[in-house]
Amino acid sequence: MSVTPSSPTDLPLEGVRVLDFAQFLAGPYAAMRLADLGADVIKVERPQGGDLCRSLAVNDQWLDGDSLLFHSINRNKRSFAANLKDAGDLKSVKALIASADVMIHNFRPGVMERIGLGYDVVSELNPRLVYASVTGYGTTGPWRDKPGQDLLAQSLSGITWLQGNDADGPVPVGFALYDIATALNLVQGILACLLRRGRTGKGGLIEVDLLSSGMDLQFEQLTCFFNGERTQPRRTEISNANVYGAAPYGIYATKDGHLAVAMTPLKRLAELFALPALGAFDQSDALKRANEIKPLLQARISERTTAEWLAILEPADVWCAEVLDWPRLAESEGFAELDMLQTVRNGAGSEMKMVQCPMRLDGSRLPSPLGAPALGADSDTLLNELGLA
């Protein structure tokens, strides 16, 4: 943190060095966000194959020998190849750690300690270091050795019973939600610790795990659960979008698509949808009789197109929206104005499109046009810098 920005548009983490020992998604995604915010992120990878994500493809998409997935999680980083089981390499890594502000790893509990890079050892080597660890289920406890994989953590945490409808069985979220939420918590912890270091001069240990982060994501619903009957809430038979959400909250099929309808008093619904049958329900019925109310609404909504309903509902300030898919979203004016896409180019000159950091700082996006590094691409430069070449 020695660099003094010359203008407020300089990135806030310029001069902060982050070592990313993590693999797959949660740790590397956190490191990528720090890179978005200006940090110098160096991946420390096994010389053979590197981050396992390099060879894990989704949708069978590849770029320059690495999976597209890897590229999307590791843009704007450097790569240092080191075998942590080799004494010489370990010495280099320790020199790198001495030069760093933050290190992130997601090895299973105990692994870093066995390598000799546990928090106690490393914090003596570099007392200013913020040491961040990601696990599946915490570093102690009976689940500590279970695989810290997103779908499995979702399954253990109860969230699969929140999506879908009553008869559906468990419906997981269709991508790695817990990895991402865990990463976001990690970024917050790291940044807070850097702030504290600004005042105390000392680093600290940040620990996050998939399960705690999954609990946090469910905190609203879990609070209702803990302070209520403590029975598993049921999803509605149709159009569920929140187990504690009163009707009409949910998604309804129209003649040609789908309409989302959020909190709206039943009286308003009866008027706007010309549904006198809703008059039989009191507002206090909206949650417990949702299974009677939602089908009435669904039958009516399916009679007209989405556009026809929006023309009635939006001028009346009803909280509703057309349900878009990606192609329709990408064509929309709202998406174009948001400016969330960037083109990233890697060392080999290949380009790919990806979304960028979801915030603006002083009115500007935080573009990060540098692609992911080839394995060990920056080893020589860094060894030179550390006087170890």
Q: Does 294 bind other proteins (CB under 8 A)?
A: no
Which uninterrupted H or E stretch holds 95?
A: helix 87-98
Q: Does 283 bind other proteins (CB under 8 A)?
A: yes
Contact between residue 53 and residue 24 where contact means Cβ atoms under 8 Å apart: yes
Q: For other proteins, give the closer residue by CB, 83 or 149.
A: 149
The strand pair at 320-322 and 258-261 is best described as antiparallel
**Whole-number minimum distance, CB 379 to other proteins, in Å?**
26
Q: Does 247 bind other proteins (CB under 8 A)?
A: no
Q: Does 158 bind other proteins (CB under 8 A)?
A: yes
| DSSP structural state of residue 163 | S
Of these residues, 179, 285, 339, 362, which one is catalytic?
A: 179
Q: Does 121 bind other proteins (CB under 8 A)?
A: no
User: For residue 114, what are its two tokens?
Assistant: 């066995």
Residue with tokens 């009957």: 229
**Whole-number minimum distance, CB 92 to other proteins, in Å?**
28
**Whole-number minimum distance, CB 80 to other proteins, in Å?**
24
User: For residue 209, what are its two tokens?
Assistant: 């795990």
Which uninterrupted H or E stretch holds 295?
A: helix 290-301
* Binding positions for other proteins, 307-366, rule CB under 8 A: 314, 317, 319-330, 332-335, 337-338, 340-341, 352-355, 357-363
Report d(CA 101, CA 131) in Å as an integer: 9
Determine the size of the site formed for other proteins (CB under 8 A): 158
256 is catalytic: no
* Binding positions for other proteins, 170-209, rule CB under 8 A: 170-177, 180-182, 184-189, 191-196, 198, 200, 202, 204-209
Bridge partners (DSSP) of residue 209 are 135
Q: Does 114 bind other proteins (CB under 8 A)?
A: no
* Binding positions for other proteins, 76-105, rule CB under 8 A: none
Report d(CA 275, CA 297) in Å as an integer: 8
Q: Does 124 bind other proteins (CB under 8 A)?
A: no
Q: CA-CA distances (angstroms) from residue 361 to 18, 74, 134?
A: 21, 22, 27
Active site residues: 179
